[in-house]
Amino acid sequence: MKHITTIDDLRDVHKRNTPKAFFDYVDRGSYAEETLAANRNDMKAIKFRQRILVDISSRDLSTTIIGEKSTLPIVLAPVGSTGMQFGDGEILACRAAQAEGIPYTLSTMSICSIEDVAENVEKPFWFQLYVMKDRGFAKALIERAIAAKCSALVLTVDLQVIGQRHADIKNGLSVPPKLLSLKNVADIATKPRWVSGILRGKRRNFGNIAGHLPGSGSLGSVSAWVASQFDPSLSWKDLEWIRGVWPGKLIIKGILDIADAKEAVACGAQAMVVSNHGGRQLDGAPSSIAVLPEIADAVGDQIEIMFDGGIRSGQDVMRALALGAKSCMIGRAYIHGLGAFGEPGVRKAIDIIRQELSVTMGLCGVAKIADIDKRVIATPGQSAA
């Protein structure tokens, strides 16, 4: 992997290795993809203040995230169908994260189940929950996460209705799936290493749902059930029920508004994630980085703030930390590594971000994560004293 120097390099290999339907599932956004583009464009518009002749010989990138020690201020975000990017993808990504000393979050919509991952890794991981209409199933998921000793529950709250992703429909990732079109079969036939890896994997269906539904062996039947289960009636009142079942640390993911941020504080969550679901839900919503400062100013002294949306480099992590986040979730960045090279690719993605963050801190005159704040950001047309 000597030729790999950026997340974009990993993306290029991922795109070559993986069938278009599954690559696009991760890479694309909803509707016109305005918010997907804004996540990146607004991030890149933020410039740094270069500082010189500061002793940055002993830079420390370690931190704590909801009380857990982490070698970096990043978390691997929950990504659905990770095991269709690379066989046993969730297990491999979790192993990579733990080897690098950072948290990993397993999605409700994972291919490998909670138990599959727990049996194949050494330490606790986080679990991300979608609260379905079938509350019995949601309760069972939480109980399975407790049994697996998951150390945090990440409640995703911005998927009560699903934003249409045009690429998925065109690629056959519809309900029911239409992956056996001539175009898809021809594409898959050109990816023998991907096919071999998927066939060696434990599962090719949603592992957390398999067994819950009678006759859930088919991807089509499971997909149809899932699509019918996202609950538009979900409200803040349901947080009380979740708190009654889950005894541990709670993180609410999908906050873009100050009023909602204050509700998250009131419900007793340990952390919130400022996120627009990676530009995959409400198209036309602001970028996550655009709303981060006002949310951090409003509630940052009352709750731990995490960030998600557009992180592709260590510089992006620095930008989010400077504007009020304590840590960042990365999704596409590590999935590109997974799709490119499996577990070593995930570790490569993490290392790329680590090295970039370390250099950026040094050139901004910062030696510790805790010292990153708005002072590292350049104000256009003005030099701060």
Q: Which residues are catalytic?
A: 277
| CA 114, 115, 119, 120 torsion-angle sign | negative
Q: Quick count: other Cβ atoms within 10 Å of Cβ 382?
A: 7
Tokens of 282: 């409400």
Query: Residue 76's closest CA among 311, 359, 323, 340?
Result: 311
DSSP code of residue 287: P
Name the helix (H) or strand (E) containing 7: helix 7-17
Cα 78–Cα 212–Cα 215 angle in degrees, nearest 5 = 115
Whether a cis peptide bond, with omega within 30° of 0, leads into 177 is: no
Tokens of 90: 């969730």
Contact 314, 356 (CB under 8 A): yes
Query: Residue 93's closest CA among 379, 336, 370?
Result: 336
